[in-house]
Structure 1
Amino acid sequence: MKITGKTTTKQTLSPGVIQLTELIQMNCHELEQYLLEQAMENPAIDIDSLYSSSVRAELFEKVQWLNSFGRAPEPGGPDDERADAPEPAAAAPTVRSHLLQQLTLLDLEKGDEDICRYLIGCVDGHGFLNEDWAAAAERLGVPAGRVEDCARLLRGLSPPGICSAGVRECLIAQLDEDEDGDGLIKSIISGCLEELSRGHYTAIAKELSVPVSRVRRAEERIKRLCPYPSAAFDGSARNCSVVPDICIEQCGGRLRVWLPHSCTPYLKISSYCRELRSSAGDPEVLRYLDECILSASRLFANVSRSESTLLLCAEKVAELQREYFQFRSAPLVPMTLADVADETGLSVSTVSRALRGRYIQCIRGTVPARALFSRRLESEEELCSADRAKLLIRDIVDTEDKRDPVSDARLSEILSGKGVRISRRTAAKYREELGIPSSFVRRQENG
């Protein structure tokens, strides 16, 4: 047997790089939730003023509410009366008091009502309920199935989608409430929501074996749904409009770009953890605290880098689309991810991750960042966007002879005559994305 030696090079990503990649893709709400989770696990993380006073109060009241289940009421004391029992809704009345009010109208056994009140205390500010049924059952001393039954009961309260586990479940619950049992819409929400947010209509249509036109109609229905159940009765901070990750505004004739929910200024190492380290005598405790501080420092550095990357990309987008952000009537100019990558020195994939799912607050309202990008086409006189090509196709089809519809090859020729060069296959692709049937089908329909 012959033994040979071979040297190979294998590239692996460090945990820090993986963490940075994940952070870049998080929107402001996801980042705040992630940091809160990390703070719960790492005592060295002190997130100072990251959340508003109302949210801090909500967390404080929630802890008080949960702890109240562990002590017996004193005879004759305030806990002796059910009406005086601490209610989690004190910190977030728009969500929890609404549920508690409905709870009083239900004819429940005392045990079930206590479970429901406990679960209401676990509802977050968006109206979602993400609770471990087994842990809740152990804490309350009841079967897990009974806790699940009570959670199911709460999901039947108003508004539609309340106490859902997340956005997808909330959206689907609203379809059920409206008796809109369209299987396609549910399929898109369940498995293609991210693709839909990117405008990948053709890919969704192929995956679900439906026409692009049906995907577009489903999108219109989904847009009318509310992602957060609390928005139905909270008209202030949390409503159906999305929270912008980027703000672009005019300031003295110039465009100012900033991140309204930046976390970087509020991240710091816990002073208590530092004091504990300085007085620690046990080497194991000292090693543990050092690891916590090092992990927190790396996290803070990556958060700062991810936000700097997002801000850099946003600044270049504002620069390339300057007139669009300065004047309401100005059209978008053709812009690709590669353009932003060239301007920033970043890779196209990094730019894509940074801007994916982001929303921009500007003079035109809140717009998705993806709406500012379009693919470019070769043109004799100018560089025009795919949107313009689709507009021309729509005009041609609308004015065609219904007895002799324009074929895809003919569409390509007509657009070429107008200075827009696209192939027959590309013309067919754009036609499908517009939901326009083929010339053969159009002829049959008008025959």
Structure 2
Amino acid sequence: MSSRYGLGMFQQQKQHMHMSPQLQQAIKILQLPTVELLELLREELEQNPFLEAEETVFAGADRPRSAKQADPLDYIAVRELSLERHLKEQVRFDDGLSQELKKIVYYIIGNLDANGYLDVTVDQLAKALQAQPQMVSQALHYVQSLEPAGVGARNLAECLQLQLDRSGAGSSLLTALITSHLEEIAEVQIPKLAKMLHAKQEEIVAAVHLIKSLHPRPGAAYGSDHADIIVPDVLVRSAGDQFVVSIREPAAPRLTMNAQYEGMVQELGRTHEAGRFMAAKRSAAAFLIKCLEQRRLTLLRVTRAIVEEQEAFFRSGSAYLKPMVLRQIAEKVGVHESTVSRATSGKYAQTPWGTYALSYFFPSGFGAGEDDASSAESVKASIRELVKQEPCEAPYSDQQLARLLEENGVPISRRTVAKYREELGIASSFKRKRAKEHGAD
């Protein structure tokens, strides 16, 4: 009987997406926040003789100075990215995550300490969220899959193990050392560890060296939301009944080609080795300038589209922010959703109501769908206004607030009202009543 299986060679056509180095560079430049972009350009200006920075007058300078003389980074307050924002930006654009799970993930992220650790149990989280423990465990596992590796751990051993698992360097010896012998590792008791774990001393030394290369506090490298100084990339200002969008100079640095080196390329030609080198540098410089202009235009078009879609916010404030998704702006501008995501990532807009991350204008719908008329921000604004107008002798309970919101077309549970009220720093109705009574006395 002949076998149905065998070895052989055959041809098969498959489609693969290939990203050229130039495309990768264009995507990187679009996505980079302004401070990181300027750092990149400073390196390029040093390495490529064809690049020149146009003359610019910097705010705060004693006199006009050329961009060659002045470093734009000297005029920008460096903004550290907070751990919470870094994690939430990774979650925000994950379309594969259900809204229910995403809410739990955000709650877990909000409960991480400055080092990236979670100091509450799954059962405690489940009770606070009134969710199933297995759903909370799934959300925690998701958080632990985010960058930086080790975030979401509940203790040092779990933090180190998460990093090892991510790197693929885990082993039974490393796990044993991490889970049961961190004290001996700290005291460098190599012979004792080798005897206890029935391993060679050189194996223990290598394992300890690897463990000490891990980060015991993965969140410590990130800044605090409360200490951030944000430099807006985009300026949105009102001009009569219209809004004008402009890109701030640091977010759209202008580079030009050096005329002197242009002439050298013509003289050397492409046959000489030096000529080929110069021609390659010239092409790289020209493409970088093109990428910068494309970045400026994309950021401008995307922001204009955001302003048009969120016009009520720009006219009346955060209470009028409506749910919006990347697809809406992508279709309006005529680009892919990923382009909108990259254009808004890490970018900020100065508006009549303050400075906001561009991602702020993409709030998820308050209810189950994307077309809901309310967003979390607008609901919070409504709660704040209702509390401000409530009778002094009988402050609204959370249930009363929920009913009033529902009468205004915002279906909401008492529990959600309580959550938003606490996030706004508003005390319970009982405490508000006591405070007003004492104030009257």
TM-score, length of structure 1 as denominator length: 0.52
Structure 1 residues 134-153: aligned runs within 5 Å: none
Root mean square deviation, CA, Å: 4.7
Change (3 A) 1:252 1:38: same
Mapped contact 2:233–2:347 kept (Cα < 8 A): yes
Cα distance between partner residues in 1 of 2:108 and 2:356: 23
Query: Equivalent residue of 2:44, what SS?
Result: helix
2:86 matched residue in structure 1: 194
1:270-309 → structure 2 map (5 Å cutoff): 270-280=258-268, 283-309=272-298
Asked if the contact 2:55–2:68 (Cα under 8 Å) also holds between the matched residues in 1, the reply is: no
Q: Is the 8 A contact 1:359 1:369 kept in 2?
A: yes
How many residues are treated as equivalent by the alignment? Answer: 288
Q: How does 1:65-104 map to 2 (within 5 A)?
A: none
Given the alignment, which residue of 291, 300, 313 partners 2:302?
Answer: 313
CA contact (8 A) 1:328 1:364 kept: yes
Paired letter, 1:266? R
Aligned residue in 2 for 1:49: 55
Q: 2:8 aligns with which of 3, 7, 18?
A: 3
Match of 1:257 among 237, 242, 245: 245
* Mean Cα deviation higher: 346-355 or 413-422: 413-422
Please list the CA deviations of residues 131-180 of structure 1 after superposition, one character each: whole Å capped at 9, or x if unmatched. xxxxxxxxxxxxxxxxxxxxxxxxxxxxxxxxxxx755xxxxxxxxxxxx
Q: Is the 8 A contact 2:53 2:68 kept in 1?
A: no
Structure 2 partner of 1:268: 256
Contact kept in structure 1, 2:319 and 2:377, CA below 8 Å: no
Q: Is the Cα contact below 8 Å between 1:337 and 1:348 reproduced in 2?
A: yes
- Structure 2 vs 1, CA of residues 195 and 51 (structure 1 numbering), >3 Å: closer, same or farther? farther
Contact 2:322 2:373 in 1 (8 A): no
AA at the equivalent of 1:317:
I
Distance 1:37 1:315, change over 3 A: same
Tell me, yes or no, if structure 1 residue 209 matches structure 2 residue 151. no
Distance 2:76 2:249 in 1: 21
Partner deviation per Cα, 1:264-298 (whole Å, 9 max, x = no partner): 68322211211211222671011011111111111
Q: Give the structure 2 partner of residue 17 of structure 1.
A: 23
Q: 1:263 to 1:389 in 2, by over 3 A?
A: closer
SS at match of 1:256: strand
Q: Secondary structure at the match of 1:4?
A: coil
Structure 2: gaps of 5 or more residues: 1-5, 93-104, 129-219, 388-394, 425-441
User: Mapping of 1:16-35 within 5 angstroms?
Assistant: 16-35=22-41
Q: Any idea what SS the aligned residue of 1:46 has?
A: strand
2:333 aligned to 341, 344, 360, which one? Answer: 344
Q: Is the 8 A contact 2:324 2:365 kept in 1?
A: yes
Q: How far apart, CA to CA, are the structure 1 residues paired with 2:421 and 2:9?
A: 56
Find the partner of 1:243 among 222, 231, 242: 231
Of residues 360, 367, 376, the one that matches 1:386 is 376
Note the alpha carbon deviations across 1:172-218, whole angstroms, 9 max, x for none.
Answer: xxxxxxxxxxxxxxxx95x54523678984352366325799xxxx9
- The one-letter code sitting in structure 2 at the alignment partner of 1:209 is L
SS in 2 for 1:376: coil
Aligned counterparts of 1:378 and 1:224: Cα–Cα separation in 2: 29
Name the amino acid aligned to 1:38: E
Change (3 A) 1:36 1:339: same
Q: 1:208-243: CA deviations, max 9, x gaps?
A: 325799xxxx9xx93442x5xxxxxxxxxxxx4x22
C-alpha spacing 1:265/1:195, structure 2 compared with 1 (3 Å): closer
More deviation, 258-267/348-357 = 258-267
Say which is worse superposed, 308-317 or 385-394, in terms of deviation. Answer: 385-394
In the other structure, the counterpart of 1:68 is none
After superposition, give the CA deviation of every residue in 1:24-75 in whole Å (9 maximum; x if it has no partner): 1223333222222112111121222257477967975xxxxxxxxxxxxxxx
Please point out which of 220, 224, 228 is paired with 1:222.
224
Farther-moved stretch of structure 1 (9-18 vs 333-342) = 333-342
The answer to whether the aligner puts 1:370 opposite 2:319 as a matched pair is no
Q: Is the 8 A contact 1:336 1:376 kept in 2?
A: no
Displacement of 1:354 in angstroms is: 1.0
Work out whether residues 365 and 374 of structure 2, in 8 Å CA contact, stay in contact via their aligned partners in 1.
yes
Deviation at 1:322? 2.0
Deviation at 1:246, TM superposition (A): 0.8
CA distance in 2, matches of 1:414, 1:366: 31
Q: Deviations over 1:105-125 (max 9, x none)?
A: xxxxxxxxxxxxxxxxxxx73
- Confirm or deny: 8 A CA contact 2:350 2:356 kept in the other structure: yes
Quick one: structure 1 residues 4 and 419, their matched pair in 2 at CA, closer, same or farther if it must change by over 3 Å?
farther
Task: Report the residue type matching 2:87 in the other structure.
Answer: E
Change over 3 Å in CA distance of 1:263–1:50 after alignment to 2: farther
Secondary structure of residue in 1 paired with 2:249: coil
Q: Whole-Å Cα distance in 2 between the matches of residues 251 and 388 of structure 1?
A: 25
Q: In the alignment, which residue of structure 1 is the partner of 2:74?
A: 125
Q: Percent identity?
A: 23
SS in 2 for 1:383: coil
Note the C-alpha offset of 1:372. 2.7
Q: CA deviation at 1:429?
A: 12
